Chain A
Amino acid sequence: MELTKIQEFDLNRTTMVTGSEAVVKCLVEEGVDIIFGYPGGAIMPVYDALYDYQNEVKHILTRHEQGAIHAAQGYARSSGRVGVCLATSGPGATNLITGIADAQIDSTPLVCITGQVHSHLLGTDAFQETDVVGISMPVTKWNCQVTKAEDIPAAIAKAFYVAQSGRPGPVLVDITKDAQFGEFEFEYEKCQQVRSYVAKPIINKDKLKEAAELINQAKKPLVVFGQGVILARAEEEFKTVIEKAGLPSAWTIMGSSALPTNHDLNVGMLGMHGNYAPNVLTNQCDVLIAVGMRFDDRVTGNLEKYAKQAKVVHFEIDPAEIDKNVNTDVAVLGDCKESLSLLLPLLKENNHANWLNEFYRLRDVELSKVINAETNPKSGELTMGEVMRRVNTHTEGKAIVVTDVGQHQMIACRYAEFQQSKSMITSGGLGTMGFCLPAAIGAKMGMPKKQVIAVVGDGGFQMTIQELGTIFQTKVEVKILLLNNQFLGMVRQWQDLFFDKRYSATEMVNPDFQTIAKGYGIASKQIKERELLNDAIKEMIEHKGSYLLEVMVGKENNVFPMVPTGCSVSDIRLE
């Protein structure tokens, strides 16, 4: 009698669920409250399950799967949490690929869940069957296919663990339709470890000492930092370290906003369209201290002529990045939040005042030769730089700026001012046009209290313009700043500089964006005049709800400074 009672009790406790409901329960267990996606045949069971969990998990219906994944990226990058997206098999899954590749190269934690045809149809060219595991393999940190309902929880648990631990990245779980229909006893255990995978290398104290010695002895140190500082949530540790040792610090565009723009030691942006001083002085420093960055070719220019005079110290979580592009003298593997805290007591206080003045002196050169004309012109057509200057006035560095790809992106990275981390969201490694609008939607959903400004070109805007529909339906508040030069500006700039001005396929005959905005119920304005600029930006920022401000800027302006491909960073051109 006793025994049967216990058995009955146990029976009540176990819950038989379908694979599709299990997917949703796993998301709830992982604390996911928002996902981005698009339905279709092979993922319908999961969508059906979502119907019962609308209070727990909000689903954002984008207008294209590329929109869903870029939104998930924007969400992940503004909030620091895992972005989740859902798509059907075949075309739904392949539409995710650009975003997955983007997230892979920019180390963004994403979990993508795709539906797949019935397992007995795998490999038969069934309707909407695509080998998405095969296709996504080169661009995912990890992926897998699940063909049995009972394997779903472990796969999703591993997916979340892998996506956000160590160096983050996108993962994909492909679930066959029969696995979604199958029933099993649901149990969930978060993944804590994968034995073949070391998320964070253990920090070697000797290397740390060697690094400290080099930094302490340096007369002309230069720190170059990237998104690693943001991903490790190490902004405070980083600032404390550079302040103690008086280290001038320059950022890659992925590291933008990790250090406040107006910090005395912030010496600007690195790379092709970066600032003059850090590029030139990269080739004069005696110790180059890289933190959470990977020496991308857009940052280093010609590697044969990159910082050859300097000893190189590299703080990095990913062993595969050590010596990949630039040979290091001392590599400190590990999470930089930990390694920088351990480094701090080993550092001597210093200020390197003369050396820092070199940066300020070159900044003045850049101011007079480039920046003043770009951000404060007195006559002529509107420039992108002056638009960004006005944005700064009204956001006071507190907004999140999301960009697309091209000239406006480089201008936004160069001139947007930030006080808080995770405020610059841009497609760095892949340079994906079409990223901006959906990423801005996701960024706002990740940080609803923040002002989100989408800075976009007329080309990239039209690559994912359908996401205006997502704004319309969800009423998410995104300020769209369209910098319209009626050209694929960055490509036109290269044609101007390197292809004898042969403007092949770069001129854009554009639709009336004002009418389009109207159709989507989005308040909007177009301006061409300098006198109207300040008020127009103020109006956009103060407007309750989404807003499209289209600024007609000079058609043939070029972004400078510039390190032409194949040149050394110190050969950066001011004009």
Chain B
Amino acid sequence: MKENNSSVKSLPFGEVRRGQYTISVFTEDQIGLLNRVSIIFTRRHINIESIAASESEVKGIHRYTIVISEDEELVKKVVKQLEKQVDVVGAFYHTNDELVFQEIALYKLPSTLIVSDGAVERIIRSHNARILAFEKEFTIIEKTGHKEETQLLFDELNPYGILEFVRSGRVAITKPMKQLKEYLKELEIASLNN
């Protein structure tokens, strides 16, 4: 659910605010849950821009970070339907200004390029990218940042011939969020009501 202290207010009916939203879904560690989560998006014909999954700071609780671009009214409904799933502990959505987020990108280039062309080396330096591996045949460069940043590096390197490129899903941490442990405690109490 959306926290109350967030900057995003509920909009009057009919008004739409389309934008990029990051949804964090916390779940029990169970087989098939990713499927259950993604079905909620498929059902409404929503394209997932990126998704990342990992364990959270609480053992046994996993988190998915999902990025979509939709109207806020729709995002709210999706989040409620995610939260409704029995094994979903909680679901939240945030706008980009409420988050600190990163993506990681890897670029594979022919090593000869780096050695022979000073321009390539300058590009890598100017983007604060780093070299992860340097082999005879190829070099792997890593850059973390927002999508625009990793894309910019891609665009600049591309004319020289990128052999392979990959970008991760967004991982994000919210600025105003309640601690997961506290949230879990509240949930334990609420889930006793039956």
Our verdict on whether A and B bind, yes or no, reads yes
Seen from chain A, the residues whose Cβ lies within 8 Å of a Cβ on chain B are 133-134, 137-138, 141-145, 161-162, 165-166, 192-202, 318-320, 322-324, 327
A residues in contact with B85, CB < 8 Å: 142
Query: Is B193 touching A194 in the complex (CB atoms < 8 A)?
Result: no
Tell me the bound Cα distance from A303 to B142 in angstroms.
51
Q: Which of B28-36, B117-125, B131-139 contacts A (4 or more CB under 8 A)?
A: B28-36
With A320-B77, A324-B77: A142-B87 Cβ-Cβ less than 8 Å: yes
Of the candidates B39, B43, B77, B191, the one whose C-beta lies within 8 Å of that of A196 is: B191
With A145-B31, A162-B86, A320-B80: A198-B191 Cβ-Cβ less than 8 Å: yes
**Closest chain B residue to A167, Cβ basis:** B84
Q: Does B27 contact A (CB under 8 A)?
A: yes
B residues in contact with A319, CB < 8 Å: 80, 83-84
Tell me the bound Cα distance from A144 to B33 in angstroms.
10
**Closest chain B residue to A334, Cβ basis:** B193
**Closest chain A residue to B13, Cβ basis:** A327
With A134-B35, A137-B35, A137-B39: A196-B88 Cβ-Cβ less than 8 Å: yes
- Interface size class, chain B: 20 to 34
Seen from chain B, the residues whose Cβ lies within 8 Å of a Cβ on chain A are 13, 27-28, 30-32, 35-36, 39, 43, 76-77, 80-81, 83-89, 184, 187-188, 190-194
Q: Which among A166, A195, A200, A202 has the highest number of chain B CB atoms within 10 Å?
A: A195
A residues in contact with B43, CB < 8 Å: 138
Shortest C-beta distance, B176 to chain A (Å), equals 21
**Closest chain A residue to B26, Cβ basis:** A196
Tell me the bound Cα distance from A324 to B88 in angstroms.
20
Query: Is B87 touching A165 in the complex (CB atoms < 8 A)?
Result: no
16 contacts between A and B (CB under 8 A): A134-B35, A137-B32, A141-B86, A142-B86, A144-B32, A193-B191, A193-B194, A194-B86, A196-B88, A196-B191, A198-B187, A200-B194, A201-B190, A202-B190, A320-B81, A320-B84
Shortest C-beta distance, B6 to chain A (Å), equals 17
With A162-B86, A196-B89, A320-B80: A134-B191 Cβ-Cβ less than 8 Å: no
With A142-B87, A199-B193: A133-B32 Cβ-Cβ less than 8 Å: yes
Query: Is B84 touching A318 in the complex (CB atoms < 8 A)?
Result: yes
A residues in contact with B190, CB < 8 Å: 198, 201-202
A residues in contact with B32, CB < 8 Å: 133-134, 137, 143-145
**Closest chain A residue to B187, Cβ basis:** A195
Query: Is A202 touching B193 in the complex (CB atoms < 8 A)?
Result: yes
Query: Is B194 touching A196 in the complex (CB atoms < 8 A)?
Result: no
Of the candidates A142, A194, A322, the one whose C-beta lies within 8 Å of that of B191 is: A194
Shortest 10 CB-CB distances between A and B: which pairs?
A: A199-B194, A320-B80, A142-B86, A196-B89, A327-B13, A198-B190, A197-B86, A320-B84, A200-B193, A165-B194
A residues in contact with B191, CB < 8 Å: 193-199
Contacts A318-B84, A322-B80 supplied; 12 other A-B pairs, CB < 8 Å: A137-B32, A142-B86, A145-B31, A161-B194, A196-B86, A198-B187, A198-B190, A202-B190, A319-B80, A320-B84, A324-B77, A324-B80
B residues in contact with A197, CB < 8 Å: 86-87, 191
Q: Which among B39, B76, B80 has the highest number of chain A CB atoms within 10 Å?
A: B80
A residues in contact with B36, CB < 8 Å: 137
B residues in contact with A195, CB < 8 Å: 89, 184, 187-188, 191
Tell me the bound Cα distance from A377 to B193 in angstroms.
53
B residues in contact with A162, CB < 8 Å: 86
**Closest chain B residue to A324, Cβ basis:** B77
With A142-B87, A327-B13: A196-B81 Cβ-Cβ less than 8 Å: no
Of the candidates B31, B39, B184, B193, the one whose C-beta lies within 8 Å of that of A198 is: B193
Tell me the bound Cα distance from A165 to B83 in angstroms.
16
Tell me the bound Cα distance from A162 to B88 in angstroms.
13
Tell me the bound Cα distance from A319 to B88 in angstroms.
14
B residues in contact with A137, CB < 8 Å: 32, 35-36, 39
Shortest C-beta distance, A557 to chain B (Å), equals 37
A residues in contact with B30, CB < 8 Å: 144
**Closest chain B residue to A327, Cβ basis:** B13
Tell me the bound Cα distance from A318 to B43 in angstroms.
19
Shortest C-beta distance, B21 to chain A (Å), equals 17
Of the candidates A192, A196, A200, the one whose C-beta lies within 8 Å of that of B28 is: A196
B residues in contact with A200, CB < 8 Å: 193-194
Query: Is A192 touching B187 in the complex (CB atoms < 8 A)?
Result: no
Tell me the bound Cα distance from A196 to B87 in angstroms.
6
Tell me the bound Cα distance from A327 to B89 in angstroms.
26
Query: Is A166 touching B27 in the complex (CB atoms < 8 A)?
Result: no
Tell me the bound Cα distance from A327 to B32 in angstroms.
33
B residues in contact with A166, CB < 8 Å: 194
